[in-house]
A and B are shown apart, each in its own frame.
Chain A
């Protein structure tokens, strides 16, 4: 009869009565946001953007003086062209294995709008810039020179695809390049 013992032991758990259902109240999932005091802001129902801390709005936040004249706005295809280019540059960056992690968890809806405004403003294509200044917007992101170069390459690709002449591309980059100290960390 000894040979039956393993079978009996194996069957033993089955013989146990089913565990009583766990009362839902004691095992509620931990609200980590609450535990760590993280305040999740709701997206604005109209704009779809997540509100940011209050700041003083000014075109000066764009970080450079705009060009004068209409030539560059035309070279970029006006506001519609600029929007396609900034959207494309952000799409490329959001999918770029070198830098996509930096864009996760950030409000791309707002970035799409403000980056468009900034480029449109700098190229004198008829926009005001309503975003934050570059230092405030990039504080704590930990971006490096290599990240910045990756972003520039994506912007160059977007401009190339939109057939912006190379010299005009460089005119935009000339406005952005001096901001390097504000958008990256050393």
Chain B
């Protein structure tokens, strides 16, 4: 099933690029920054276009269907016992294909010493992702038809020996996502629902699969947001997660966020985040701050 999903995604990506070929020959890379403000979404902690926690069907960058867009982001999540830094870049091609890279650095601070890893030990992870819009549009088209995209996120944890010692089966893993996102203008509400097939422990920072459950499972990511003005959106997100590791329970992740488009190209996101228990340290609730530049 996941394999066929990858094939479908790739076939669509190639199809999208080929069908746009004649125009592409005229101006191979043209930036128009023509999306409506905020309709490019912000960037998830995994580098994909979306909310803060949930991947959306949106394609990163401000380019419309005849242009290319790019975006870059940096995010900090400050928790009682940990700190997560992510930064990355994404390219959106013809509002059809998104290719992104993100780097996660997860600082264990004092917990590192307690776990015998050393104070301030960092887990690092690279995430390469691709997303293809299959149908629909976030803003336009029939009101009942959301923008629907499929995505692949390939995660490579750079601390393989340690995550295996914790009980993970693998240090690399691939997630598959299907997202539906729509801006219901009549209600000024944005809604997103995503299914993710994954075996990542703590987003992959603690590796993939475990003693309790080795394989993939289907998880849900939902977002609900209200547009207060053209530039300001507030909302909440809920993301269920696998619980694969015997030694460290994993909980659902939630957030309440506000995203503010300072300009067409600069978006600031602030959120209250609750990721529950991380590596046996419960009650990890804190703040997220994210800066996105998009063209």
Contact = CB atoms under 8 A, between A and B. Distances in A.
A174 B186 contact: yes
Contacts of B137: 180
B188 interface: yes
Contacts of B66: 144-146
Contact of B185 (A150, A171, A181): A171
A186 B137 CA distance: 13
Interface string A145-174: 110111011001000000000110011011
Contact of A166 (B36, B67, B140, B188): B188
A177 interface: yes
A48 interface: no
Contact of B65 (A152, A153, A156, A186): A186
Contacts of A167: 188
Interface residues of B, number: 24
Given A149-B36, A170-B185, A177-B185, A144 B64 contact: yes
Interface residues of A, number: 20
Contact of B186 (A145, A171, A181): A171
A178 B188 contact: no
Nearest to A183: B140
A170 B227 contact: yes
Contact of A178 (B140, B227, B229, B230): B140
Interface string A45-71: 000000000000000000000000000
Interface string B127-148: 0000000000101111100000
Given A145-B66, A166-B227, A150 B34 contact: yes
The 7 closest A-B CB pairs, nearest first, are: A146-B34, A180-B140, A174-B185, A174-B186, A145-B64, A146-B64, A170-B185
28 contacts: A144-B64, A144-B66, A145-B34, A145-B64, A145-B65, A146-B32, A146-B34, A146-B64, A146-B67, A148-B140, A149-B35, A153-B36, A166-B227, A166-B228, A166-B229, A166-B230, A167-B188, A170-B185, A174-B143, A177-B139, A177-B143, A177-B185, A178-B141, A178-B142, A180-B137, A180-B140, A180-B141, A186-B65
Interface of B: 32, 34-36, 64-67, 95, 137, 139-143, 184-188, 227-230
